[in-house]
Amino acid sequence: MNRPARLVTAALTASAALLLTACGSGGGDGSSSSDKIAGADPGDKASAPPSASASADGIDRPEIKLPDDMKLVFEGQQTGDAVKDAILADNERAVSTVWQAVASGDLKKSGMGFYYTDTALRGVYNYAKDNNARKTSWAGTLRYFDRQVTVFDKTSAALTYCVDESKANVKDLKTKKVKVVETSPDSYVYYNASVKKDKQGVWQIWSLHEDRGSQRCQP
């Protein structure tokens, strides 16, 4: 079995060798029919209470709570630019909602539909649903680093970042056992995300591309 992050795109690519490209590649043509996805309907977004850390901007956000054995480390949180910092913060929340769905098995209250849209939402939803069915999650630490934001205009931007999966391993939710996986160049992944600002002011991911084993992210 491969490292947890590599399981994320299994539902999209039929390969258990990729991480959070669950969004896959594609444009924001709205063809993903988000109204058919649990938790993607606007009425579902407030089904969980807003997190205390997200209340400062006045947006009613879904609560995010990860299990104690699932750690996310995000480097470069403050750039000094308010727009870029907001994009980085929403990216952190977006990633966390996927892992919350995987760990809890609750797709509707995960918050994925709040931070993902279009093909990206379809991707993370299918990934989480597949792992819920397999009773598979992960334990350890994922480190997100070298995060760079390019702002195009008031409602669109691009975000690139690396993920270090070397300290995270596959967890069987039935047995609660964790399988340690050997670290390799593929444990380091480069991501290119396209984001757009919705009417509430949330920077949503609508497309995500991955380069596993990228030289840009190797230690």
The 10s digit of each residue's pLDDT in 78-127 is 899 999 999 999 999 999 999 999 999 999 889 999 999 999 999 889 98
Q: Which pTM does this prediction carry?
A: 0.80
Asked if 7 contacts 106 with a C-beta cutoff of 8 angstroms, the reply is no
Q: How far apart are CA 96 and CA 205, in angstroms?
A: 13
Beta bridge partners of residue 157, listed in sequence order? 151, 195
Percent of the chain with pLDDT over 70: 75
Here the tokens at position 102 are: 């995987």
Domain architecture of the chain: domains with CATH: 4-28+66-217 (3.10.450.50)
Residue with tokens 């403050």: 78
Would you say residue 195 has pLDDT above 70? yes
User: In sequence order, which residues have a C-beta less than 8 Å from that of residue 80 and are 6 or more positions away?
Assistant: none
- What is the per-residue pLDDT for 38? 58
Average pLDDT value for the chain:
80
pLDDT digits (tens, 9 = 90+) for 115-131: 999 999 998 899 899 99
- What is the per-residue pLDDT for 39? 57
